Structure 1
Amino acid sequence: MSDSQRWFFLILAVVVALLLYLLQPILSPFVVAALLAYLADPMADRLEARGLSRTLSVVVVFLVMTTVLLLLVIWLLPKLGYQLQVMIKLVPQVFAMIQTVWIPWLESNTGISLEGFDLQSVQALMSGHWQQTGSLVKNIFSSVGESGLALAAWVANLVLIPVVMFYLLRDWDVMMGKIGYLLPRNLEKKVTLWANECDEVLGAFIKGQLLVMLALGIIYSLGLWTVGLDLALLVGMLAGLASIVPYMGFIVGIVAAGVAAMLQFNDLTMLAWVGVVFAIGQALEGMVLTPLLVGDRIGLHPVAVIFAIMAGGQLFGFVGILIALPVAAVIMVLLRHLHQGYKSSKLYDC
């Protein structure tokens, strides 16, 4: 890479970052649409390989995704909303259990005195936040309804996502080809190699790990529902979402399900059944889901995932959260090649 090319790409990166920062209030629907198009492109490519035209392939994929999304919204959201309200009502019981059962048990078995711990203040703080969370959707719709401009913007964004996604998905391969054609000829092969490695990393997380999370959420929810837990769907989906970090979903899920089971049944036998559900989920994840959906593709380290999401949100808000993993994948590939170049340079071997 020549000096002029280095300066060009450095200036281009600065300009892109500045535009992301300045335009973040309007970029959310476009970024969401681009991520959905990226996820759906392999399905459209498979249909196209079977003889369908690109437009027809995109229409089929688009209809399938829209139908699945509508069914999830119609069936899932009311149930999650109801279970969230149930969980809010259980918060005082959780604090009562901590006060009457757990703290005395800790004091008697460890000799540690917790008299100075102000549980009432924590309870008041948490209860206030849970009440705010429970009324969040109502407040959002109230604020939207009070302003015609806000309502128009909300509807426009909602409509814009599928429209932009459709056109991006239809022209995805064409756009990638044009981007490759615009690259300097001496860099085209290397940048293509890096892009393929970035796609491999993203595939392991955005395509593979998200499917694992969804599957685990369904497995945990069905298992806890079989046990008879009232909050089965909410706890199961929460454990599935937390599974983006290895073992975090298991820890979060089994603790939340254990507390909910004790409050509902007050029977230690139910804790054993909850443990069985999560043990089966972990076994399926390790032996079936991860090898099948993620395989041996190189993924991002869990710490890198957490840091990328937090840094993206801090720098660019919601848009930064959406682009955090793609940017982290690119940085990871660049750092790996930089490390290889350093190991083969005179600076390292002198």
Structure 2
Amino acid sequence: MLRILSNWIHRYLSDEEAVLLVIFLIVALVVTFTMGTILAPMLAGMVIAFLLQGLVLRLRGFGLPHVVAVTITFLIFVGFIGVSLFWIMPVIWEQMRGLFAELPRMLTKAQQLLLLLPEKYPSLISQVQVQEVLDMTRKELGNVGQSLLTLSLANVPILMGVLIYLVLVPLLVFFFLKDSVQIQAWLSSFLPHHRPVMTRIWLEMNQQIANYVRGKVMEIFIVGIVSYICFSLLGVNYALLLGVMVGLSVIVPYIGAAAVTVPVALVGYFQWGWSGEFFYLVAAYTVIQALDGNVLVPLLFSEAVNLHPLAIILAVLVFGGLWGFWGVFFAIPLATLIKATVNAWPLAQAELAESMAAGALAPPAELNPETVEQEEAKPE
């Protein structure tokens, strides 16, 4: 047993950089789990600054100074927050209230339809089964109502937290954008000067994560806006609320599109029944999902994420369970980062030399010391 453990340590931890990488990953996990709530505003600011960095670089490409590009980007960000708070959120809140007010009528109609099933299909479903479903539905709705009441009684702490985020996060975003080069240089000063494995992982992940995150945000906005316009033209009730739900559904691959189909279809059915308008809505929603998967995604994501669908679903479940919304949003980049780390992990030098001699591994170009130093000197 000790020999097996010794061989494993020699194979995977014989390199000094591998040990440093393990320590870094452990510290990052410990900090995230123990201080994640406290550092949430800073993490949110880092994520938003990372999203806006592309706009800053594009403005600098037009010849604008760094401070001017950061200021313009920050003003656009603050303007988006203002529009969301004073126009989009009030409309969504009113539509949510209208939907909750209409729920009793929808439930009554659904109950009438369910009670007809035992008469039409007595061999498939019984009256007892229908009654059990109705009782379970009433119980779940009662729990939801109780949760909403508890939430309303705790409004003051929630509002204080929202106010903190509204003030603190924009300030953090501004300074992360303004001093990104200095922050990266300061963090790099704690790392060894010669770090080929970390540089290799960074080179592999930097462009891919930037492409994925920014592309995903654009996909959310495009799908949400197109869905809202389509639902409004069709006269669907709660068009903005449903449009936001469809836009956010693209965050969760495979599962999101299937889950949001249910409320869209239910709202359309309870509004029109089995009519032509309902089938127009279903057809329009199907076209939106098809265009998103077959046209929009290939255009936005220039670099494909080479992960198996099962790995993507597992990453969504694991990271979503650990970190909620942000875990779901970054599930694919985190899974890709794990894959890149495993692929770039330094083996024992003898085994690495044997693998390269056998042709199993090609010597990566980015391990050239000159290339490493050039890439480390580049700002993000």
Q: Does 1:289 align with 2:296?
A: yes
Q: Match for 2:95: what amino acid?
A: Q
Amino acid at match of 1:141: N
Question: Which stretch has the larger CA shift, 61-70 or 97-106?
Answer: 97-106
Q: Does 1:27 align with 2:39?
A: yes
Matches within 5 A, 1:279-318: 279-298=286-305, 303-312=310-319, 314-315=321-322
CA shift in 2, pair 1:313/1:289, >3 Å: closer
Measured after TM superposition, the shift of residue 30 of structure 1 is: 0.2
Q: Tell me the equivalent position of 1:124.
A: 138
The alignment covers a number of residue pairs equal to 342
Identify which of 221, 231, 241 aligns with 1:234: 241
Aligned-partner SS, 2:100: helix
**Residue identity matched to 1:121:** D
- Structure 1 residues 289-321: Cα deviation after superposition (integer angstroms, max 9, x where no partner): 223222343266565455445434544677766
Task: Say whether 1:208 aligns with 2:215.
Answer: yes
Aligned 8 A contact 1:224 1:274 in 2: yes
Aligned partners of 1:213 and 1:243 also within 8 Å:
yes
* 2:59 pairs with 1:47: yes
Match of 1:141 in 2: 155
Q: 1:87 to 1:296 in 2, by over 3 A?
A: same
| Whole-angstrom CA distance in 2 between matches of 1:76 and 1:267 | 31
Given that residues 15 and 346 in structure 2 are in contact (C-alpha distance below 8 angstroms), is that contact kept between their aligned partners in structure 1? no
Output the CA distance in 2 between the equivalents of 1:314 and 1:11: 24
Is 1:266 matched with 2:273? yes
Larger radius of gyration: 2
Whole-angstrom distance in 1 between the partners of 2:311 and 2:191: 29
Q: CA deviation at 1:134?
A: 4.9
Matching of residue 334 in structure 1 with residue 341 in structure 2: yes
What corresponds to 1:75 in structure 2?
87
The one-letter amino acid of 2:17's match is Q
Q: What secondary structure is seen at the aligned counterpart in 1 of 2:36?
A: helix
Give, in angstroms, the shift of residue 213 of structure 1: 2.1
Question: Structure 1 residues 252 and 320 mapped into 2: Cα distance closer, same or farther (>3 Å)?
Answer: closer
- Looking at structure 2, the residues matched to 176 and 58 of structure 1 have their Cα atoms a distance apart, in angstroms, of 17
1:98 shift after superposition: 3.5
* CA deviation after TM superposition for structure 1 residue 162, in Å: 1.0
Closer, same or farther: CA 48–270 of 1 in aligned 2, 3 Å: same
8 Å Cα contact 1:32/1:322 also seen in 2: no
- Name 2:192's counterpart in structure 1: 184
2:227 counterpart (215, 220, 223): 220
2:205 is the counterpart of 1:193: no
Structure 1 residues 93-102 or 234-243, which shifts more?
93-102
Identical counterparts, % of pairs: 23
2:173 to 165, 168, 188: 165
Counterpart CA distance in 2 for 1:294 and 1:141 is 40
State the shift of 1:159 in Å: 1.4
Alpha-carbon RMSD: 3.5
Q: Secondary structure at the match of 2:38?
A: helix
Say if 1:198 and 1:333, in contact at 8 Å, map to a contact too. Answer: yes
Extract unaligned runs of 5+ from structure 2.
1-12, 361-380
Aligned to 1:66: 78
1:254–1:274 contact (8 Å) kept in structure 2: no
User: SS of 1:26's equivalent?
Assistant: coil
8 Å CA contact 1:242, 1:249 repeated in 2: yes
Distance 1:11 1:255, change over 3 A: closer
- Residue 112 (structure 2) aligns with: 100
Paired residues of 1:309 and 1:320 also in contact (CA < 8 A)? yes
Q: What whole-Å deviation, never above 9, does each CA across 1:128-156 have from its counterpart, x for those lacking one?
A: 244246557643424457xxxxx4x6534
What is the SS of the residue equivalent to 1:281? helix
Partner Cα distance (2:256, 2:241) in 1: 13
Change (3 A) 1:278 1:156: closer
Distance in 2, matches of 1:346 and 1:136, equals 66
Q: 251, 270, 281: which is aligned to 1:244?
A: 251
Q: Which structure carries more relative contact order (alpha carbon 8 Å, separation 6+)?
A: 2
Task: Tell me, yes or no, if the aligned pair for 1:225 and 1:232 is still in contact at 8 Å.
Answer: yes
The Cα shift of 1:101 comes to 2.0
CA gap 1:338/1:251 in 2 versus in 1, 3 angstroms: same
Opposite residue 305 of structure 2, the aligned amino acid is I
**Cα 1:333–1:122, aligned 2, differ >3 Å: closer, same or farther?**
same
